[in-house]
Amino acid sequence: MESWIIAPITAIASIIVSFYLYIYINRQDSGTAKMSEIAASIKEGSNAFLRREYRILAIFVVTVAMLIAIFLPSPIWISDKPLDNLSMSIAYIFGASFSGLAGYLGMDVATRANVKTANAAKEGLNKAFSIGFRGGAVMGLSVVGFSLLGISIVYGVTKNPDLVLGFSFGASALALFAKAGGGIYTKTADISADLVGKVELNIPEDDPRNPAVIADNVGDNVGDVAGMGADLADSYIASIVAVMILGQVLGFIEIPLVFAGLGIIASIVGVATIRVGKEGDPGRALNLGTYLTCIIYAVLTYLASTYFGYNLHIWGAVLVGLIAGVIIGITSDYFTSIDRMPTRKTAETSLSGAALNIITGFSYGLYSVFPSLVGIGIASLVSYYLCYQIGIGFGLETEYALFGVGMAAMGMLSVVGMIVASDAYGPIVDNAKGIAEQSGLEEEVVDITDKLDAAGNTAKAITKGFAIGAAGLTVLALLAAFNTTAKEAGVNVVFDLMDPVVLLGIFIGIAIPSVFAAMLMLGVGKNANRMIEEVRRQFDEIPGLREGREGVKPDYARCVDIATVGALRELLPASVFAIVATLAVGFVGGIKALGGYLSGSIFCGLLFALLMSNSGGLWDNAKKYIESGAFGGKGSEAHKAAVVGDTVGDPFKDTSGPSLNTLITVMSLVSTLFAVLIAKYNLLSLL
């Protein structure tokens, strides 16, 4: 019996647990007819979006699959193993399908759990929290379950980590589109609903008169649930694959699979034990659950290491990754928390207007990148040297060292089941709050959903920090995997910063995340402009809507439609641009240029991801702080200024920022997949 069999077993266990939770949620009551009706609109809108998105993506996936079948791992006309091309192509489709499926399932359960959470809030915080969190857990456990099962199947059948790379590419490519499309959708709706509703007409958030309100709720599901799940799944898979490739030369392919399996066990235990006592604090419960999962994971991997006789330095690298993840999460929390100085100062400057609110929030966002980046740097340095020492005497110092960096990335990501669960909890309770307000539930019930929602925001800051930190280490591992693959192809290059070809690559690379982020944000801007006009039109033209006359309803479906069409139109160019630019740099400048390009995009990608996520979160909470009564409270001039900051932060934190992780993962995977081909055929080598 091989040890890696732990992976598929725990994966299947994870899927079973998530199925059990799914049934539990389905059994709950959906409340009044009005509530069910609203929930149905949200569900319908979400499904419609995903259907249309997947239809477009299917064309893309099939096209790429055909290209893979022809060109990868090596062009079919010169390959000595043409069957590998077919396998790679199938693995790719498999990866894309699994990623799509995980996104769909998560969204499906989220759009069921939202209304049930709202209804359970009538019975108190405890029950409602439990349903909301279990909804998130279905997403979390199915994401890791399907991901690890997929990897196990591809690896079990082919025993070839390079083909697992194809699986990973499929998952990541889909994640990139899902994240970008969902991110544009959600912020289009959010900004439009806020600008016309809150700012112009001064009606509350989630007011049923607002034509954009359903689209806004749909956005939470397609952006935050389906998108975020796909994003973390893609980092998770990529980190495992990177370590498998790095471990290949050391005969360590199976260690990452074993450790991933243990991560699932830790996540299941974490999910099972989480609860909020009477009068408990749900935010604290979520964070405690995350910490508990980390501790369980550390213990399990230690025991496994002794049992299987793995060198404890490898375990040390995992631990370093885990600790770094927690530290980065705490940093993000500091810079975005409603109780801390940065948010409060930013709220205070709102008294002098929107411009100073934005300057201040942006500045704290700039500060916030420092500890996280240094943390990632130190984690990679420590894990490198820990494992470097294993290799001394075997002449394999570098190989072990890079493997160590990969294991640190895995360490961060191994608890991803729990992370996704906490994360998906956010949009579910956000939706629950919306449904409670729109269906006119009592004040106390709405208050409970409000409390649940606030906890979601706290948890989100930490999980986002985790996600970005993990992506950072993962792409470093992928960079190393890219280097290893290039070496195997006979190109033994050093990425020397003083080499002008590497430098040119870096200069192009650092500009890519900027351009990508800009494309997505302009997409949001364009779309929001269209939708704002529509919302204004409805308020102007539908008699009685503004005053909320009985029986008058806005045309929700039109807003859902505008957001859907717009998001689908804007999602392709940015994502295709990133992939094409990567290939162009490779085939023109060769491996060295591509190495520089990847590094540059990683550096600036991480920087912007942190900057945008943190400043966005900070602006959001600065507004909430004012709404809680500070500096004049709701409706004051300071509040108006803070709303502008929050709106600027929306595409920062929910569209561009989190997409950048996925972007750099996809770019790294594309590079690694094409490394052999690029090494052979590139313009610069022909000159």
Closest CA to 621 of 345, 281, 337, 340: 337
The tokens describing 176, both together, are: 């990139």
Q: Binding a copy of itself by CB under 8 A: which of 204, 280, 440, 500? A: 500
DSSP 630: G
Q: Which is nearer to a copy of itself, 129 or 403 (CB)?
A: 403
Q: Distance between CA atoms of 181 and 230, rounded to whole angstroms? A: 12
Q: Binding a copy of itself by CB under 8 A: which of 20, 307, 308, 370? A: 370
Render 590-615 in DSSP notation, one character per residue.
HHHHHHHHHHHHHHHHHHHHHHHHHH
Q: What is the smallest separation between the CB atom of 377 and a copy of itself, expressed in angstroms? A: 3
Print burial letters for 569-585: b (CB count within 10 Å at least 16), e (below 16). ebbeebbeebbebbbeb
DSSP 203: P
Q: Distance between CA atoms of 529 and 513, rounded to whole angstroms? A: 24
Other CB atoms within a 10 A radius of the CB of residue 537 amount to 13
**Which distant-in-sequence residues (6+ apart) come within 8 Å of 19 by Cβ?**
none
Q: Distance between CA atoms of 569 and 685, rounded to whole angstroms? A: 38
Q: Does 376 bind a copy of itself (CB under 8 A)?
A: yes
Q: Does 596 bind a copy of itself (CB under 8 A)?
A: yes
The tokens describing 68, both together, are: 């893979």
Q: What is the smallest separation between the CB atom of 350 and a copy of itself, expressed in angstroms? A: 11
Q: Does 354 bind a copy of itself (CB under 8 A)?
A: yes
Q: Does 392 bind a copy of itself (CB under 8 A)?
A: no
Other CB atoms within a 10 A radius of the CB of residue 205 amount to 16
Q: Which is nearer to a copy of itself, 167 or 364 (CB)?
A: 364
Applying the rule CB under 8 A, the residues between 602 and 661 that interact with a copy of itself are 603-604, 607, 611, 643-644, 647-648, 651
Q: Does 681 bind a copy of itself (CB under 8 A)?
A: no
Q: Distance between CA atoms of 645 and 297, rounded to whole angstroms? A: 39
Q: Binding a copy of itself by CB under 8 A: which of 175, 402, 473, 562? A: 402
Q: Which is nearer to a copy of itself, 214 or 610 (CB)?
A: 610
How many residues touch a copy of itself under the rule CB under 8 A: the total is 77
Q: What is the smallest separation between the CB atom of 504 and a copy of itself, expressed in angstroms? A: 4
Q: Binding a copy of itself by CB under 8 A: which of 381, 392, 580, 683? A: 381
Candidates 254-262, 433-441, 511-519, 671-679; binding stretch for a copy of itself (CB under 8 A): 511-519
The tokens describing 567, both together, are: 């998001």
Q: Does 502 bind a copy of itself (CB under 8 A)?
A: yes
Q: What is the smallest separation between the CB atom of 482 and a copy of itself, expressed in angstroms? A: 10
Closest CA to 120 of 108, 136, 110, 131: 131
Q: Does 504 bind a copy of itself (CB under 8 A)?
A: yes
Q: Binding a copy of itself by CB under 8 A: which of 238, 255, 517, 591? A: 517
Q: Does 563 bind a copy of itself (CB under 8 A)?
A: no
CB 433 within 8 A of CB 452: yes
Applying the rule CB under 8 A, the residues between 137 and 176 that interact with a copy of itself are none
Max Cα separation, the chain? 82
Candidates 174-182, 331-339, 456-464, 493-501; binding stretch for a copy of itself (CB under 8 A): 493-501
CB 398 within 8 A of CB 391: yes
**Which distant-in-sequence residues (6+ apart) come within 8 Å of 121 by Cβ?**
127, 128, 432, 436, 441, 445, 448, 449, 452
Q: What is the smallest separation between the CB atom of 298 and a copy of itself, expressed in angstroms? A: 23
Q: What is the smallest separation between the CB atom of 102 and a copy of itself, expressed in angstroms? A: 31
Q: What is the smallest separation between the CB atom of 542 and a copy of itself, expressed in angstroms? A: 21
Cα three-residue angle 180-184-190, rounded to 5 degrees: 145
Q: Does 366 bind a copy of itself (CB under 8 A)?
A: yes
Q: Binding a copy of itself by CB under 8 A: which of 153, 292, 295, 356? A: 356
Question: What are the distances in angstroms from CA 300 to CA 6, 71, 262?
Answer: 13, 42, 7
Q: Does 595 bind a copy of itself (CB under 8 A)?
A: yes
Q: Does 572 bind a copy of itself (CB under 8 A)?
A: no
Closest CA to 579 of 488, 640, 670, 674: 670
Q: Which is nearer to a copy of itself, 303 or 355 (CB)?
A: 355
Q: Binding a copy of itself by CB under 8 A: which of 508, 560, 562, 664? A: 508
Q: What is the smallest separation between the CB atom of 492 and a copy of itself, expressed in angstroms? A: 12
**Which distant-in-sequence residues (6+ apart) come within 8 Å of 418 by Cβ?**
140, 266, 267, 270, 271, 289, 290, 293
Q: Distance between CA atoms of 35 and 29, rounded to whole angstroms? A: 11
Q: Binding a copy of itself by CB under 8 A: which of 137, 416, 421, 532? A: 532
Q: What is the smallest separation between the CB atom of 196 and a copy of itself, expressed in angstroms? A: 9
Q: Does 367 bind a copy of itself (CB under 8 A)?
A: yes
Q: What is the smallest separation between the CB atom of 446 and a copy of itself, expressed in angstroms? A: 27
Q: Does 32 bind a copy of itself (CB under 8 A)?
A: no
Candidates 27-35, 147-155, 421-429, 500-508; binding stretch for a copy of itself (CB under 8 A): 500-508
